[in-house]
Copies of this chain bind each other. A is one copy, B any other.
Amino acid sequence: MILDSETKATELPDDHRDEIRLWLRLLTCTTLIEGEVRSRLRERFDVTLPRFDLMAQLDKVPDGMTLSDVSKRMMVSNGNVTGLVERLVESGHIDRRTSDADRRVQVIRLTKAGRAEFRKMAAEHELWIADIFGELTPKDVRELMRLLAKTKGSAQKSAKARTA
C-alpha cells in the first residue's frame, strides 16, 4: 500500500508537525486580529485593549465585581488588575469601594461616564469584528465555534493534568 510506506517515510515514530502548525496558525490569527483591534481602539478612542476588556467585564454586571473576579474572568494576574484598576479609577471610568462585608475586598463598577463611553466603543467594536470575520459564512462560524470549544476542552484537560 503506497500511502502506508509514504506515511512511514515522512512521519517517523511520533510526528506532531500538524499540531505545531495548527498552534502557530491559531496564534497568528489571534495576534493579527488582536493587533488590529488594538490599533483601532487606540486610533479611534485612545484607549488600550486591556482597559477595554476590563470595562467589558464590568458592563455585564450593574452591581460591580471584585478584583479577584476580574482577574479570573480576564485570565490575568492579580497584580496586573491592581494596576489597571488604578489607572481606570484615575481616568474616571470606574469607581472602587471597599466591601462592607469583607474589608479585604474591593468592589469596582463602571461610573456613569465610563458606561456611556464603553457603550459607544462597544458599538463600533462590534462592527470591526463583523468586518474582520466578514468572509466567513454562518456555517464556517458555527464550525469554528465547535472546533474551538473542543480545543479549549482539550487544552484545559492538559493544563489540569500538569498542575495536578
| Residue positions of A touching B, CB distance < 8 A | 14, 16, 18-23, 25-36, 39-40, 75, 126-136, 138, 140-141, 143-145, 147-159, 161-162
Consensus secondary structure, chain A interface: helix
Docked-complex contact A30 and B40, CB < 8 angstroms:
no
Docked-complex contact A23 and B133, CB < 8 angstroms:
yes
19 chain-A/chain-B pairs, Cβ below 8 angstroms: A19-B133, A20-B129, A22-B144, A22-B145, A25-B148, A26-B26, A26-B29, A26-B30, A27-B30, A29-B152, A30-B30, A32-B159, A39-B162, A40-B162, A132-B154, A132-B159, A140-B150, A143-B143, A144-B144
CB-defined contacts of A154 to chain B, threshold 8 Å? 132-136
The copy count of this chain in the complex is: 2
**Min C-beta distance of A32 to chain B, whole Å:** 5
Docked-complex contact B158 and A18, CB < 8 angstroms:
no
**Min C-beta distance of A114 to chain B, whole Å:** 20
Docked-complex contact B155 and A32, CB < 8 angstroms:
yes
